[in-house]
Structure 1
Amino acid sequence: MSGRVIVQGVGKAYTQWRSEWQRFARWFGANPRPLVEHWVLRDVSFEVAPGEAVGIIGQNGAGKSTLLKLITGTARPTEGHVALTGRVAAILELGMGFNPELTGRENVRHAAGLLGYTQEETERILPEVERFAEIGEYFDEPVRSYSSGMQVRVAFSIATATRPDVLIVDEALSVGDAYFVHKCFQRIRQFRTAGTTLLFVSHDPTAVQALCDRAILLVGGRKLLDGDPREVFDYYNALIAEKENSKLLVEKTADGAAKTESGTREAEVERVSLLDKTGAPVEYIGVGEPVELEVLVRVNEPVERLVFGYMIRDRLGQPVFGTNTHHTEQVCENLPAGALMRFRAAFQMSLGPGSYSISVALSSTETHLVRNYHWRDLALVFQVANVGLDAFIGTAWLPPVIVVESAEAGTALN
């Protein structure tokens, strides 16, 4: 059965009643006025088609985890309804449902029963769960002795022992070690290829953009955006920047991409250029050729501290390389109104063939979340082509020196 998720007008409120009598009266159809009613979600609607992957993003407290609980049925909505088709596997709160006094093996048997596996099916998948979790002898130790990462290993392994129609993953993977997270994402990609529908909550833009077809942005318990992951993350980053006196502008480029700008404009980017070795502006550059990024900045009001930064992104919006003048110890200080600054970054174009974009930022520190003077996404788009070099695959040009030699039997290999 294909996995489909339908969320219609869903809301969740946590209510404090004046008395227990009011609570009982509500059960019998009365509608008394509560003392306190706090809505954590309101009027959220979307649909995830079979085989589609959707990321859910937002700041802490935006309602992401509550939404997943409503979808999985571990909490009931106050309004609206949720419909799912197919077998659902979910990884929500860390260790949810584990008995700390039972061993990992015993918890797997218990969890498998709750997931609908028969005893025979449970014994069949148990070796695979143990193999994938890779926690060794701890599999037969009480879960109370587990680290958070070990709990994640067992939880993910049991939830994905067989391919579900719908896979729902909360932030639990953020506490796993890099090796196991890589294994998890590899399995998720395999499931996606086989047709599994994915709902994925994460603050990691790279993971969301790599795995998901769409992203949904929740703000204050309401759905604000639903669209291309890169565009949604750009808008999200602009929202969480300093809001005071800040302007947010989103416009479409000629090819339909969303271009996001934000900032107070105390300092403002006037021009962004990519120059070749002769100093001429270019939109096409060969792999390995020297280039220079030139950014002209005008200071509109006195600025005590100015940090310039840039980020190169691939065609999917994933970061390739970024730095700023805080990291290079070249911060500008006490700039007067009217000052005109030029920032130049020279480097070799060691990227693979493809389309790339450059985002630029002006802020008071190494992050635009403190004082965001001006942030321009898609400030410049350029193409990289392989002209005259050996063919290679990937987003980075790392030319090797490959040695090929005979290694006869008995020859010492160092």
Structure 2
Amino acid sequence: MPKSEDWVLKNVGFDVFPGEAVGFLGQNGAGKSTLLKLIAGTLTATEGSIQVNGRVAAILELGMGFNSDLTGRENVIHTAGLMGFSRSEINAALSEIESFAEIGKHFDQPVRTYSSGMQARVAFAIATAYRPDILIVDEALSVGDTYFQHKSFNRIREFREKGTTLIIVSHDRSTIQSICDRAILLDRGCMIKDGEPEEVFDFYNAIIAEKENSTLMIKRLPSGKVQTKSGTGEAQVTEIVLLGDSGAVTETVAVGEKVELRIKIKIHKQIDELVLGYGIKDRLGQVMYGTNSWHTNQIITNARAGDEYEFKILFNANFGAGSYSVVTALHNRETHLNANYEWRDLALVFSVVNSNEHQFSGCNWLKAEMVVAQNGY
């Protein structure tokens, strides 16, 4: 049989500027890991060119290049040497690498005895022992315990503050949106969107949910934000408003105020099961809270064309001061990935102001109480 070739990446081009953080996302097989290997220099492009200025540190695969018969310490010395560091530079950083990895006595045991999480710790500690000009991180940090993930991302943020350029692949929306300045979406080897992380993730979710005969609409709102809407159209949200404690429609509420989110829906084609999902996101697009009527056991059955429904969602606005948006989803099961009738980002935008509570930081108001007691009394 004649040999055939498949292009993993085709016509992909972009610039990443010093100190910028860019996240790459896309479904499996989109070409994300291949792209990172090209930038890191572990793969060579068939055509085109890649220009990299500065020293690159990459975490592409767990323990990539580790000798399983060598100890963690020996692998650190070997790997750092391959990175171009002298023995004196390695010796100067060795204790800090051991301390950061936090694997105790295992540091002097063969790597073949390590778990994947332990390999991730050592690999990350080596790659970040010396602040690089460019740090490339694949999904490696999704493995391991939550404590080390937090510790690793704190180091990444420190590098960013000092001017390191970050290129990261992750399926975790909060990771991309909290760290990155922009995001690039790859699909079957092509670059299809480059923009603000929230906008790109909304577009990505719409593509995943898109089914046959569904539509995908992109609209720029007066605020400058880009709204993504998709779905097959059997049902749609016709009205969404936020009511304050007084019962009047409002766009601004106080911290902790009792509010009502009212959503009206119209059916255009018979649906056996209809589920409403909603989420409240902060200004960066991170979900503060979200659920749907599947989880609350309030599924609408046998909805007919022309039927209209109204949902009233009551809650206290226990959020920090800032701007928030509501996303809505109409589907038939636990998630919108099965049958997406309508997905709408930025369906409603509202603000929370702190006019009555003590000053606090963060996204959520816990209404915490502080008790102070003197010893012996």
Scaled by the length of structure 1, the TM-score of the pair is 0.89
| 1:349 paired residue among 317, 333, 337 | 317
Q: Answer yes or no: is the 8 Å Cα contact 2:210–2:230 preserved in 1.
A: no
Which amino acid letter does the alignment assign opposite residue 193 of structure 2?
Answer: L
CA distance in 2, matches of 1:402, 1:35: 71
| 1:58 paired residue among 13, 21, 26 | 26
CA distance in 2, matches of 1:153, 1:364: 42
CA distance in 2, matches of 1:334, 1:99: 61
1:38 corresponding residue in structure 2: 6
1:212 corresponding residue in structure 2: 180
Aligned pairs for 1:272-287 within 5 A: 272-287=240-255
SS of alignment partner, residue 36 of structure 1: coil
Which amino acid letter does the alignment assign opposite residue 343 of structure 1?
Answer: F
Which amino acid letter does the alignment assign opposite residue 295 of structure 1?
Answer: I
SS of alignment partner, residue 319 of structure 2: coil
SS of alignment partner, residue 40 of structure 1: coil
Structure 2: gaps (5+ residues): none
2:295 corresponding residue in structure 1: 327
1:179 is the counterpart of 2:176:
no
2:222 corresponding residue in structure 1: 254
1:299 is the counterpart of 2:236:
no
More strand by share: 1
Structure 1: gaps (5+ residues): 1-17, 19-33
Q: Answer yes or no: is the 8 Å Cα contact 1:86–1:165 preserved in 2.
A: yes
CA distance in 2, matches of 1:35, 1:392: 64
1:375 corresponding residue in structure 2: 343
SS of alignment partner, residue 181 of structure 1: helix
Once the 2 structures are TM-superposed, how far is the Cα of residue 388 of structure 1 from its aligned partner? 2.1
Aligned pairs for 1:102-141 within 5 A: 102-141=70-109
Once the 2 structures are TM-superposed, how far is the Cα of residue 334 of structure 1 from its aligned partner? 1.6
CA distance in 1, matches of 2:314, 2:124: 45
| 1:189 paired residue among 157, 162, 171 | 157
SS of alignment partner, residue 77 of structure 2: helix
Number of aligned positions between the proteins: 377
| 2:51 paired residue among 75, 79, 83 | 83
Deviation string 1:293-317 (CA, Å, 9 cap, x unpaired) is 1100011111011111110001111
Once the 2 structures are TM-superposed, how far is the Cα of residue 323 of structure 1 from its aligned partner? 0.8
1:400 corresponding residue in structure 2: 368
CA distance in 2, matches of 1:139, 1:198: 28
Which amino acid letter does the alignment assign opposite residue 128 of structure 1?
Answer: E
CA distance in 1, matches of 2:188, 2:49: 20
Which amino acid letter does the alignment assign opposite residue 262 of structure 1?
Answer: S
1:26 corresponding residue in structure 2: none
SS of alignment partner, residue 51 of structure 2: strand
1:239 is the counterpart of 2:207:
yes
| 2:129 paired residue among 143, 161, 174 | 161
| 1:361 paired residue among 329, 334, 352 | 329
Deviation string 1:13-40 (CA, Å, 9 cap, x unpaired) is xxxxx7xxxxxxxxxxxxxxx7201111
SS of alignment partner, residue 50 of structure 2: strand
Q: CA RMSD in A?
A: 1.1
Deviation string 1:107-153 (CA, Å, 9 cap, x unpaired) is 11110011011111111111111100000111111111111111100
Q: Answer yes or no: is the 8 Å Cα contact 2:235–2:266 preserved in 1.
A: yes
SS of alignment partner, residue 43 of structure 1: coil
| 1:226 paired residue among 194, 202, 214 | 194
Deviation string 1:177-229 (CA, Å, 9 cap, x unpaired) is 10000001000000000000000000011100111001000011010011101
Once the 2 structures are TM-superposed, how far is the Cα of residue 350 of structure 1 from its aligned partner? 0.6
Q: Answer yes or no: is the 8 Å Cα contact 2:210–2:216 preserved in 1.
A: no
CA distance in 1, matches of 2:161, 2:359: 28
Q: Answer yes or no: is the 8 Å Cα contact 1:242–1:370 preserved in 2.
A: no
Which amino acid letter does the alignment assign opposite residue 156 of structure 1?
Answer: F
CA distance in 2, matches of 1:212, 1:391: 28
CA distance in 1, matches of 2:146, 2:305: 47
CA distance in 2, matches of 1:185, 1:70: 24
SS of alignment partner, residue 302 of structure 2: strand
CA distance in 1, matches of 2:222, 2:281: 19
Q: Answer yes or no: is the 8 Å Cα contact 2:255–2:356 preserved in 1.
A: no
Q: Answer yes or no: is the 8 Å Cα contact 2:319–2:365 preserved in 1.
A: yes
1:271 corresponding residue in structure 2: 239
CA distance in 2, matches of 1:300, 1:95: 54
SS of alignment partner, residue 84 of structure 1: coil
Deviates more, 1:393-402 or 1:143-152: 393-402
Runs in 1 of length 4+ with deviation above 4 angstroms? none
Which amino acid letter does the alignment assign opposite residue 228 of structure 1?
Answer: E
Once the 2 structures are TM-superposed, how far is the Cα of residue 279 of structure 1 from its aligned partner? 2.5
